[in-house]
Amino acid sequence: MGQAIGKSMDYSSAKFDVKVVSGSTLPVNRWAYLAELKELLQFGVIDDIAVLAETDVRNKEQIAKRKSMYAQLQGQLSQLQEAVKDKEGTIETLERQLVQAGIKGKVMQAEMEITKKKEEVKGDLKESYRGTEGKQKLLQNVMANEVETRKKELGLEVQSARKDLQRSKTNQ
């Protein structure tokens, strides 16, 4: 029994689970080191592959390969999503342009109809003006003829009155 107790006190032949590494900032044991790596991962200082390399997980290389493949697929997926968003934006822009073009077309059509109506009204007014002008000229001619006729009638009446006056003078 004495030899067993003696071996337990012999530090050179004993195997311990503790490693002593110089440096004041390093963690004391392996689990503390992993906890520190997790914190650094959360802060974004290191990546998850570095944390994986320090763990005791089996098949680290295969996990790292799958992880990188997932990262590539996620990158491709994000690129495709960006492309879809870009295409959707282009489609929305084209739809807006199409709507604006339709509105412009309707505005132009309405302007054409308004111009057509305006020209029709102008034409009607010109016709009406010409008709009124013709009627005025006709009325002026009728009135001038009437005036001439009245003048002639008055002239005849005046002559007849003179003749009557001369007859009445001669009869007296």
Per-residue pLDDT of 47-94, as tens digits, reads: 777 777 777 778 888 887 777 778 888 889 999 999 999 999 999 999
- Nearest by Cα to 37 from 53, 23, 18, 59: 53
3-state secondary structure the chain: CHHHHHHHCCCCCCCCCCCCCCCCCCCCCHHHHHHHHHHHHHHCCCCHHHHHHCCCCCCHHHHHHHHHHHHHHHHHHHHHHHHHHHHHHHHHHHHHHHHHHHHHHHHHHHHHHHHHHHHHHHHHHHHHHHHHHHHHHHHHHHHHHHHHHHHHHHHHHHHHHHHHHHHHHHHC
Residue 37 burial by Cβ neighbours in a 10 Å radius (0-12, 13-18, 19+): buried
Statement to judge: residues 37 and 116 lie in one domain: no
Task: Give 114-148 pLDDT, tens digit per residue.
Answer: 999 999 999 999 988 888 888 889 999 999 999 99
| Distance from C-alpha of 66 to C-alpha of 110, rounded to nearest angstrom | 65
Examine the domain organization and report whether 22 and 36 are in the same domain: yes
d(CA 66, CA 63): 5
Is 123 within the bounds of a domain? Answer: yes
Rounded CA-CA distance 49/62 in Å is 11
Tell me which of 35, 56, 77 is where a domain ends. 56
Domain end among 41, 56, 71: 56
- Judge whether 170 lies within some domain: no
Domain presence at residue 34: yes
66 shares its domain with 151:
yes
pLDDT of residue 145: 92
- Evaluate if residue 104 carries a pLDDT over 90: yes
Pair 12, 92 in one domain:
no
The size of the chain, in residues, is: 172
Reported confidence tier of residue 46, pLDDT bands at 50, 70, 90:
confident
Q: Are residues 147 and 105 in the same domain?
A: yes
Residue 168 in domain: no
Report yes or no on 154 lying in a domain: yes
Counting the structural domains of the chain, the total is 2
Same domain, residue pair 66 and 150: yes
Structural domain harbouring 129: 58-163
Find the range with the poorest average confidence among 1-5, 24-28, 41-45: 24-28
Q: What is the reported pLDDT for 48?
A: 77
